[in-house]
Amino acid sequence: MLKLRFWFAVISFPSLVAAQDRSQARSMVIAKRGIVATAQPLASQAGAQILARGGSAVDAAIAANAVLSLVEPMMNGPGGDLFALIWDAKTGKLTGINASGWAPKGLSIDYLEKAGLSSIPSNSIHGVTVPGCVDGWEKLHKRFGKLPWRDLFKPAIYYAENGFPVTELIQWDWDNASSKLDDEARKVYLPNGAAPKVGDVFRNPQLGHALRLISELGAAAFYGGPIGEAILKTSQRHQGTMTADDLREYQSEWVAPISTGYRDWKVYQLPPNGQGIGTLEMLNIMENFPIGNYSQDSADAFHLKIEAQKLATQDLKRYVGDPRFSKPPVAGLLSKAYAKERAASIDPAKAHCDVEPGKPESGHGNTTYLSVVDKDGNVVSWIQSISDIFGSGIAVEGMGFLLHDRGGAFSLEKEHPNALGPRKRPFHTIIPGFMEHGTQHIGFGIMRGMNQAQAQAQFISNVVDHKMNIQLALEAPRFTKPSLGGCDLRIENRVPEAVRDELTKRGHQLWVMGDYSGIMGGGQAVMHDSATKVNYGASSPRKDGAAIPEPDPYFK
């Protein structure tokens, strides 16, 4: 009966099979015009309005991201980093940008050792690398934008000054992580000394001021103007090493996406310093098994995906760093032959708790995600983060936003590829995804730190192996493994008890979570069918968000 439940929910784009007897909680949004999917409806609506005014998919993404900086402040903002993939419907070209920032020139392992530090605490100024987000916004707009730059920030400035009601899941994170906020941040985010409650109207005029400066002066306001001056003043107050040169000389980077074939789909990610290569390696390992022969909620399917995750994650942690300083073995990690070697170590009947990194040869063959598709079929897959919930907890004086703590991802082992170094970018967990097959082109992403690569691989398998539509693929019960070693595993309660018992018999140590656990990461997805010119949008119930279509011009 359990297998039948999922079979009835199968959808082959664009037709629906037995929709009245489905297992998914929400329908896809289906429209001829654009769709914006984000973690908060006001942000989705702002992006949809930008599309309706003639904006591009990138214009809508910037506007939505700016609103998310206000309404979901513990996850993202101008003080963080950005990665994006942009698919051009006319040319079929996929473009990537890496807008992750570097460590200050004066920060090194030796510097920290002299300061008596053997690690970088999440609330330390030394975890603050140069925020790359705003430079990424500007570069993307100059290349792909249609509307005037200043128009993109009007929705966020409006809500910053007039206020917005706080939503449920965002409020939970706001309340539960607020203890790390510094005194300046507490003034901004804890009005009357406490986190706002669900439905409370929250205003942040300081952020409105910062966004107005960005809208008027561009990225120069952030990297050399009044915002930059405030960042340096804040850093100096916390005894940080960041200088005016560190900010002024920073540039985000256009990068060529990397890819693999999974069954008959092509899947794309951005190259290191991000963990997207881990998703691709996990898929390559999974491809050695007939996962499509099993139901999505079977012990066999879960076991193989879990074991593939362990192998890929060990390689991620061992080999990935900033390619400007080290040479991650990208070709080796993406090699089908290497994946076959790794897959051979998987025992279908037993969990391995002591997995080690492999040896790929170089020639071997807390975050917000949003996705946008416009009426012309252009797709944006976009992820932006201040790293941990509330980032470093350090607010920029007078500007109403937090600095991220992405530098905490550096290794302090001097020989490691991800070792801290001046002007070096740390290993990044945030990854946008894109996949295509024939006329179907999907931009997707799922949040929550190291969960992202494994969650994306599960989403892709749901679409490819289990023939789910993008909404069901986001909703379907998932697992996540937060630790690097061992057999501990978090899994959602919707996975049938008999399946969980079988996984336990195979050696997996389960921590059962709620039906739609935020630990599994909320996500968004959009799809463009280039044959029918119809767009599809999906939003995970693990977040407060929604996929909202661009309004049709019925009043014109």
Contact of 22 with 526, CB cutoff 8 Å: no
Digit-coded pLDDT (tens) for 146-198: 999 999 999 999 999 999 999 999 999 999 999 999 999 999 999 999 999 99
At residue 24, the pLDDT reads: 83
At residue 23, the pLDDT reads: 79
At residue 20, the pLDDT reads: 64
CA–CA gap between residue 408 and residue 424 (Å, rounded): 13
Which burial class, exposed, middle or buried, applies to 20 when counting CB atoms under 10 A from its CB (0-12, 13-18, 19+)?
A: exposed
Digit-coded pLDDT (tens) for 220-246: 999 999 999 999 999 999 999 999 999
What's the Cα-to-Cα distance from 286 to each of 47, 305, 417, 423, rounded to whole Å?
36, 7, 26, 37
Respond yes or no on whether the N-terminal peptide bond of residue 496 is cis (omega within 30° of 0): no
Number of neighbouring beta carbons within 10 Å of residue 253: 15
DSSP for 304-330 reads HHHHHHHHHHHHHHHH-S-TTTS---H
According to DSSP, the β-strands at 509-513 and 488-492 are: parallel
Which burial class, exposed, middle or buried, applies to 407 when counting CB atoms under 10 A from its CB (0-12, 13-18, 19+)?
A: buried
- What are the boundaries of each domain within the chain? 2-11+20-32+282-367+450-544
Contact of 371 with 442, CB cutoff 8 Å: no
At residue 556, the pLDDT reads: 79
CA–CA gap between residue 15 and residue 525 (Å, rounded): 18
Q: Which residues neighbour 61 within 8 Å (Cβ) at sequence distance 6 or greater?
A: 36, 47, 84, 140, 370, 372, 380, 382
Name the residue type at position 257: P
Contact of 127 with 184, CB cutoff 8 Å: no
In sequence order, which ranges of 219-335 are alpha helices (DSSP H)?
A: 220-223, 226-237, 244-248, 276-286, 299-319, 330-334
Catalytic residue among 234, 367, 368, 480: 367
CA–CA gap between residue 246 and residue 253 (Å, rounded): 16
CA–CA gap between residue 295 and residue 65 (Å, rounded): 36
Contact of 537 with 48, CB cutoff 8 Å: no
DSSP secondary-structure letter at 428?
B
For the CA atoms of the chain, what is the radius of gyration? 22
At residue 18, the pLDDT reads: 52
Which residue numbers in the chain have pLDDT < 50? 1-17, 362-365
In CATH, which of 3.60.20, 1.10.3470, 1.20.1260, 3.30.310 is domain 2-11+20-32+282-367+450-544? 3.60.20
Contact of 234 with 396, CB cutoff 8 Å: yes
At residue 1, the pLDDT reads: 39
Region class of 31: left (phi > 0), else alpha (psi between -120 and 50), else beta: beta
At residue 501, the pLDDT reads: 98
Q: Is 367 annotated as catalytic?
A: yes
